[in-house]
Structure 1
Amino acid sequence: MTNRLLTHLRHVDLAVPDYNKQLDFYAGVWGLTKVAEDSGISFLAAEGSPEQYIVRLRKADEKRLDLISYGAASSAGVDTLAEQLLAGEVQLISQPAKLDSPGGGYGFRFFDIDGRTIEVAADVEARKHRRVEEKEAIPVRLSHVVLNSTDINATRAWYEQHLDFRLSDTMSIPHMGELMHFMRISNQHHSMAIARGPHTSLQHLSFEMRGIDEYMRGTGRLLRSGATKIWGPGRHMAGDNTFTYFLDPHGNTVEYTTELEELDEDTWHPHIYDLTKPENADQWGTANPMNEMIAKEMHNDVDRGVFVAPPV
């Protein structure tokens, strides 16, 4: 594609068996706002974001990633992308049409190379949002999503070819090879990353906080709540963002972050960061060391939604 049709990450939709417990977590201690609910589906917004919602929860028999939604610049761009994906033999789940989710809009869904459901939408009505205030330790917006793939280079190539993602940086270990590719659709260092894992799954969701103080206050609130912390607080090298990772009630990894790097795309050249050097994982040196237990938690469960479109 010669023109970048995608603009930003909109929302991530999760299905879980214990719906009430999951909803209590995200609309409670995690700091999102429930804006709509209907028959076992809830829509959760971030107070600082114009997106109608950034997380959708659905009650289901099995835990799965329902879909990842990206914004497009226009409805014409949605149509163009659908045509390009069809020409590239990508399997569409639906044709471009009006959406009936909060805020409406115009969009369609398709499977990525690993079988995840991806949605692209434009012309969604902006939500009335507000400025998150000083010391208010709630998410401002959805920052990025990280996906586990058994072949990160094939997944990277697919997103580059079909959705015009661009590589920002790579993390590797000399004796193991490449472990993670950071991918962007704007000057934000990454809205998605692809991590090497034993199966297709969600690795983590990341939520942007107002600033360092709010990030630390939020981290403290989660710790006091008894939520399971697996890694952090610290500051990554790739993306230069802060991190603290927790588990939600169904074992999905969720992150508080802030200050994700913005790039000059005209001059940026990707780096390869060697993870045997601890400062490349955590510049500050304040986080507990990355180990196999943390990696196993981030591998998550096998995604039962691969090449199975969500019912809604």
Structure 2
Amino acid sequence: MSFSPITHLRHVDIAVPEYDKQVAFYGNNWGLTDVGGESNLTYFAAEGSPEQYIVRVRRADEKRLDLVSFGAADPKSVDQLADRLAGANVTLISEPDVLQTPGGGYGFRFFDLEGRVLEVSADVETRTHRKIEEREAIPVRLSHVVLNSPEPEKMLAWYVKHLGFRLSDTLVHPHMGGLMWFLRCGPQHHSMAIARCPHTALNHVSFEMRGLDEYMRGSGRLIRAEVPKIWGPGRHRAGDNTFTYFHDPNGNTMEYTTELELLDEDTWHPSLYDTSEPETSDEWGTADSMNEWISKQMFNDPDKGLFQAPPA
């Protein structure tokens, strides 16, 4: 098996101009727990997750994806990855060292092929968490992140080569070719995906709910609160997970999901799913059919923070 240092997705950090509205959205609407921070910086945890935080929000003049953080098995894996990346002329933002973020740990940051900031860390102290109870409609943990790319095939090759991700499935269109590639770093069908888009941007961040009932209750709560809904509720074919997509106060797309498929690493073979078949987008048939308007809502604004390390 190829070198696979990544174990899981830790957190996704964003910068936004409407900072106060974003903080209120995550705490009051989305169901995350404010675990502190500092001036113009707030960390949010999920009650069911051992991660210190799963989202960080920073105040900024322009919206951007600050970084995506992944876990590694141990400090040795972190050092090995840093050496491999440096040897492949990948630009390191920092060398492996003790992290100064909640929970500490040992890690480093670097740019991906298109200039996003990635972080890989190990030995981060776990947070005291709890079992999410029946009918408790708040996120259990972070599920996955999807990134928009104008050259997704190159991005796919980069993440497979340098970070050891494996391709699970691909969405294709008869006339447009590949549209989305689902990548895994463990048994979960995908921890990240790459979507074809005219520009580099964040597509969406997804949060795992306890089960179907909690997923529907959470989706309904947001709909009743008039949080802008883009698409759903429904169930995707690739990954077999449920979906309801909403816009946050800064126009980023956030998803509630549950029941994401777990794969047998030794027997799984990637499939091509035709998006011209309505069941590919929504097996249930309960959501609106995928259309150009829905796609554009997930294009997001072009990321203006590429190849720029965030100040925190």
In structure 2, what is the equivalent of residue 106 of structure 1?
A: 106
Structure 1 residues 204-236: Cα deviation after superposition (integer angstroms, max 9, x where no partner): 000000000000000000001110001000000
In structure 1, what is the equivalent of residue 36 of structure 2?
A: 36
Within 5 Å, which residues of 2 pair with 1:36-55? 36-55=36-55
Q: CA RMSD in A?
A: 0.7
The Cα of 1:101 is off from its aligned counterpart by 0.6
Distance 1:157 1:80 in 2: 20
SS of 2:298's equivalent? helix
Structure 1 residue 5 and structure 2 residue 5: aligned? yes
Distance 1:73 1:98 in 2: 15
Structure 1 residues 128-168: Cα deviation after superposition (integer angstroms, max 9, x where no partner): 00000000000000000000000111000000000000000
Letter in 2 for 1:205: V
Structure 1 residue 142 and structure 2 residue 104: aligned? no
Structure 1 residue 248 and structure 2 residue 236: aligned? no
Letter in 1 for 2:69: S
SS of 1:2's equivalent? coil
In structure 2, what is the equivalent of residue 278 of structure 1?
A: 278
The count of aligned residue pairs is 312
Letter in 1 for 2:221: R
SS of 1:156's equivalent? helix
Within 5 Å, which residues of 2 pair with 1:1-312? 2-312=2-312
The Cα of 1:309 is off from its aligned counterpart by 0.8
Gaps of 5+ in 1: none
Distance 1:7 1:232 in 2: 30
Letter in 2 for 1:271: S
SS of 1:125's equivalent? coil
TM-score, normalised relative to structure 2: 0.99
Letter in 2 for 1:243: F
SS of 1:299's equivalent? coil
Distance 1:195 1:129 in 2: 33
Structure 1 residues 156-190: Cα deviation after superposition (integer angstroms, max 9, x where no partner): 00000000000000001010100000000001000
Distance 2:3 2:88 in 1: 16
Distance 2:165 2:285 in 1: 31
Letter in 2 for 1:43: Y
Distance 1:203 1:169 in 2: 18
Structure 1 residues 45-94: Cα deviation after superposition (integer angstroms, max 9, x where no partner): 00000000000000011100000000000011100100000011100000
Distance 2:247 2:116 in 1: 21
SS of 1:161's equivalent? helix
Aligned-residue identity in percent: 66
Letter in 2 for 1:87: G
The Cα of 1:3 is off from its aligned counterpart by 3.7
SS of 2:95's equivalent? coil
Distance 1:297 1:235 in 2: 19
Letter in 1 for 2:216: M
Distance 2:88 2:162 in 1: 8
Structure 1 residues 27-59: Cα deviation after superposition (integer angstroms, max 9, x where no partner): 111000000120110000000000000000000
Structure 1 residues 229-248: Cα deviation after superposition (integer angstroms, max 9, x where no partner): 01000000000000000000
Bigger mean CA deviation after superposition, 3-12 or 67-76: 3-12
Distance 2:296 2:217 in 1: 27
SS of 2:194's equivalent? strand
TM-score, normalised relative to structure 1: 0.99
Distance 1:225 1:306 in 2: 34
Distance 2:66 2:241 in 1: 27
Letter in 2 for 1:170: T
Distance 1:17 1:151 in 2: 28
The Cα of 1:5 is off from its aligned counterpart by 1.1
Letter in 1 for 2:2: T
SS of 2:21's equivalent? helix
SS of 2:85's equivalent? helix
Letter in 2 for 1:288: D
SS of 1:219's equivalent? helix
